[in-house]
A and B are shown apart, each in its own frame.
Chain A
């Protein structure tokens, strides 16, 4: 069949096709993650705007250059949301390229599962479709998962289809000095549990009577209602880095917040990252060589180094 196309996508692909090093620019909220592009890198922007949204289908097709806040507002009108972290200036494509889960991944699911279809410009400026527009699809290899968190090093995403979800009626943040393990054990489906070594934060959401019942359970464990979650330190590391048995020389210093259930911790001063398995490094190198043999796309960025 013919490939995906629209005037905006076609001109995006043409911009990528031109010679030289090229990177896609979003809201620059995580611009330095995984390394900086050389100064001579040409910057392109992905198309912006919601292309189609059928609330009854619970999927949305949106330009990767769209602000997440703008997408969120459009979906909110129909009582829905996408499972993307909402932050000022962040773009849909940028959030997916960086691949950081939202704070609510424990309950709402991982960011990597939010993406149903992506249309990206390849290193040769060809438009390539990965995945498909339906909520369930196993047609061929799952390139979408590979694109999330790839920092635009395999292809520059121009447009995506995301799954949407109902926005729950009630939501509440609570915090207290109880063990995160206890909160996870006792509460049925908290959307978030965070822990900084002393205090646990928990977010509850859903139908009002359920949130009330779960909140009173959390109160019995020592939690009180608070305005919101703690600010997250800048650097993301595997939660295992904080384990008692992790080598001291590699331990992060300073403040940390563990995001329970995602294997992730945010730290203010990461220790030196452990060396990845050489076989994993080889697979990264081979994927880059297959998808961007000339090294044009987001040069200088390395997903393995994205702390």
Chain B
């Protein structure tokens, strides 16, 4: 039995209930089981007591109580992460921030807002829409993912090509350190003297502390937007067009690519009007002032047509919304084809896109799997989605072998392990393929400066052995983590 009912008088649970409120500390097997997973395929996590604080002070009390009992703390937002970053190992106290979901203040003149970490990404953009502003990072999960989680993973999204990933949109974070102290890193106006602790914290996957508030930068809505749907006869031509656009000195707001398998799946699912016979489509969006938009959209269309594309211009906001709905429904659409998927996330130099796409198809074929590609082509951020049915004997080994080969191929052309999902458990053991021992040691030093006893989300990102203390604290990842 993996989740035995907690002992009647578990002193940790009793203390946590005193620190918060009895109904906001859960230790029943079902609740701990739910909190033992995230949106990744990784199983084998084990949650301890699950806490739902309402305020920074309550988070401090959770952390202090866990510390007194010698237990680690795993911060958790909406649980939509894809790298296992929020999967608890070794029964830590899980601090869930979903009930801290308020917009605390908006300063439209300074284009910033303070939010609680549990606020949903899209809710923020909706809340500030009346000011003509939005929050630029827009992960595909933006309807359900939390801003605290976005900070943890340094999340991206289609519109991060021109405006940068989450880090560029975070002015300050309020953090509860493992000592129980709350501290503001950065400055909500944009300049804090000293080291950029804010920048070091964003993307740290819950290993430096628990985020309790975020000062976000808001971006003005563009006066003009033009979206183009480019349909190609070959994946090569699509990839070459993306490279050609970048080489031409155009930085579109977004440039996304989908291959035939996913086009057909999406089309059946939402009917966005994608050409089902195309080998690949590219959704390119240019925004800004009208002169630049006209010039750049025209140039993108020219470059695409020169590579054999048929070009469809979104005529109005409705058509534009439909194209994006098609793009963002990809993950729902594939559920109709296979029950399970494993979404990968690597980045390659943008000039190597065509080459790496071909390599991905070869790898997947070699492993007898089905792949769909829907990804942020403009910044070289691949998202091969391996589809499978985990009930099929031996399939998991093939899925992981194909994933490893895709990572290797990406690194071989000068790419990196992750563009926006993070390392978590998923890629922890691949870190030595990208970083030397000295590089990893430096990252472990950063971690220890914030969390000397390594009590925040242990066992993630840094491979065992990157820091001596960790080897002793954690031993090995529990069996079955690789699901």
Binding site for B on A (CB under 8 A): 1-3, 54-59, 79-80, 99, 109-110, 112-113, 122, 126-130, 132-146, 148-150, 154-155, 165-167, 181, 184-185, 188-189, 206-210, 213-214, 236, 238-240, 261-264, 273, 276-277, 279-280, 283-284, 286-287, 289-291, 303-307
For A144, the chain B residues whose CB sits under 8 A away are 199
Flag if A127 contacts B414 (CB, 8 Å).
no
For A210, the chain B residues whose CB sits under 8 A away are 288-292
Q: List 13 additional A-B contacts (Cβ < 8 Å) besides A209-B290, A279-B181.
A: A3-B438, A134-B380, A134-B416, A135-B380, A145-B196, A145-B202, A146-B446, A148-B196, A154-B195, A206-B292, A263-B187, A283-B183, A283-B197
Which stretch from B229-237, B326-334, B346-354, B362-370 is at the chain A interface?
Answer: B346-354
For B313, the chain A residues whose CB sits under 8 A away are none
Flag if A276 contacts B109 (CB, 8 Å).
no
Max count, chain A CB within 10 A of own CB: residue among B171, B183, B421: B183
Which stretch from B19-27, B71-79, B243-251 is at the chain A interface?
Answer: B243-251
B177 at interface, CB cutoff 8 A: yes
Bound complex: CA A158 to CA B445 (Å)? 20
For A167, the chain B residues whose CB sits under 8 A away are 249
Flag if A136 contacts B419 (CB, 8 Å).
yes
For A126, the chain B residues whose CB sits under 8 A away are 438
Interface string of B190-207 (1 = CB under 8 A from A): 111111111110111001
B373 at interface, CB cutoff 8 A: no
Which B residues from 198 to 245 make CB contacts under 8 A with A? 198-200, 202-204, 207, 220, 222-223, 243
Bound complex: CA A99 to CA B199 (Å)? 13
Flag if B289 contacts A56 (CB, 8 Å).
no
Flag if A132 contacts B434 (CB, 8 Å).
yes
Flag if B199 contacts A283 (CB, 8 Å).
no
Flag if A138 contacts B203 (CB, 8 Å).
yes
Flag if B435 contacts A280 (CB, 8 Å).
no
Bound complex: CA A182 to CA B16 (Å)? 50
Flag if A56 contacts B246 (CB, 8 Å).
yes
Residue of B nearest to A185 (CB): B109
Max count, chain B CB within 10 A of own CB: residue among A139, A264, A290: A139
Residue of B nearest to A110 (CB): B168
Query: A2 contacts which of B422, B436, B443 (Cβ < 8 Å)?
Result: B436
Flag if B193 contacts A303 (CB, 8 Å).
yes
Question: Distance in Å from the Cβ of A83 to the closest Cβ of chain B?
Answer: 11
B461 at interface, CB cutoff 8 A: yes
Flag if A140 contacts B288 (CB, 8 Å).
no
Flag if B195 contacts A287 (CB, 8 Å).
yes
Flag if B438 contacts A290 (CB, 8 Å).
no
Flag if B223 contacts A145 (CB, 8 Å).
no
Query: A146 contacts which of B199, B295, B427 (Cβ < 8 Å)?
Result: B199
B417 at interface, CB cutoff 8 A: yes
Max count, chain B CB within 10 A of own CB: residue among A58, A236, A262: A58
Asked, given contacts A142-B200, A206-B288, whether A184 binds B168 with beta carbons under 8 Å apart, the answer is: no
For A264, the chain B residues whose CB sits under 8 A away are 190-191
Bound complex: CA A109 to CA B154 (Å)? 17
Flag if A137 contacts B416 (CB, 8 Å).
yes
Q: List 8 A-B contacts (CB under 8 A).
A: A136-B160, A136-B419, A138-B423, A141-B204, A238-B192, A238-B193, A290-B445, A303-B194
Flag if A56 contacts B449 (CB, 8 Å).
no
Flag if B154 contacts A138 (CB, 8 Å).
yes
Flag if A286 contacts B449 (CB, 8 Å).
yes
Question: Distance in Å from the Cβ of B82 to the closest Cβ of chain A?
Answer: 12
Asked, given contacts A138-B421, A142-B202, A166-B251, whether A240 binds B349 with beta carbons under 8 Å apart, the answer is: no
For B347, the chain A residues whose CB sits under 8 A away are 132, 134-137
Flag if B191 contacts A263 (CB, 8 Å).
yes
Bound complex: CA A128 to CA B181 (Å)? 31
Which B residues from 440 to 468 make CB contacts under 8 A with A? 440-443, 445-450, 452, 461-462
B439 at interface, CB cutoff 8 A: yes
Flag if A129 contacts B436 (CB, 8 Å).
yes
Bound complex: CA A303 to CA B431 (Å)? 30
